[in-house]
Amino acid sequence: MSGSQTTGLTWGQQAQPSEVAYRLARWALAAFVVTFIAARILVILIMSRTIPDLYLHVKGNHVHHLNYGIFLLSGVGAYLLFFRPRGRWLSAAACIYGIGLALTFDEFGMWLHLGGAYWQRASFDAVVVVAALLGLVAVAPDFKRFGPGHWGTTILVLGMAVVFGVLLVQSVRKFGNHIAPTFQRLEANSPE
């Protein structure tokens, strides 16, 4: 049977996200944001030696939480493909997916540089992009229902995002010299 026969779609048609898809996206977004914030707080507390070293070490090597995220994403992908869950199990998979995304994208800078400072700017940028995309999927109306107000808001938000990005870069440059030494000192004193 071809794809169009099993889904009821003809060539060129796309399935519209259902209310279930929006609900799952909201679960994934919530899990993503909570996990990201919790991971950052724990790392700061460990690096400042406020709490004990909770890092997993294998033969002297620190296992970064990026790896946990990759395993969670792999497991959720396999679970969704092979077991086709429904109901609460599907919601649980969406939460675990959000957790895996947060743990992985929190250390996105390591993907690019294969090491280096934990506080790499690329990690924050990646988290913002992924969170924004999940947020858009979670709250956006059907594309067919986009009216002039939606388009106007979209253009306004994009313009504001550009202005914000420019201002953010300027502020990071200005205050980076004051903040960077503190993070570098924390990282140098971490129990790694």
User: Is 127 found in the same domain as 168?
Assistant: no
User: Is 163 found in the same domain as 92?
Assistant: no
User: Is 77 found in the same domain as 25?
Assistant: yes
User: Is 84 found in the same domain as 108?
Assistant: yes
Is the pTM higher than 0.95? The answer reads no
User: Is 82 found in the same domain as 174?
Assistant: no
How many angstroms separate the Cα of 8 from the Cα of each of 4, 19, 144?
A: 5, 19, 19
Residue 159's domain comprises 149-179
Confidence of residue 4 (pLDDT cuts 50, 70, 90): very low
Q: What is the pLDDT of residue 115?
A: 61
User: Is 173 found in the same domain as 111?
Assistant: no
Under DSSP, the state recorded for 107 is T
Q: Quick check: is 7 in a domain?
A: no
pLDDT tens, residue by residue, 44-61: 788 777 888 888 888 888
Q: Quick check: is 97 in a domain?
A: yes
User: Is 72 found in the same domain as 114?
Assistant: yes
Among the candidates 122, 140, 158, a domain finishes at: 140
Q: What is the pLDDT of residue 157?
A: 65
User: Is 153 found in the same domain as 107?
Assistant: no
User: Is 170 found in the same domain as 121?
Assistant: no
Contact 93, 79 (CB under 8 A): yes
User: Is 153 found in the same domain as 72?
Assistant: no
- Provide the domain count of the chain: 2
pLDDT tens, residue by residue, 101-132: 999 988 877 776 666 565 565 556 667 766 77
- Cα 106 to Cα 129: distance, rounded to the nearest angstrom: 11
pLDDT tens, residue by residue, 136-184: 666 766 777 777 876 776 787 677 667 666 665 665 666 566 666 776 7
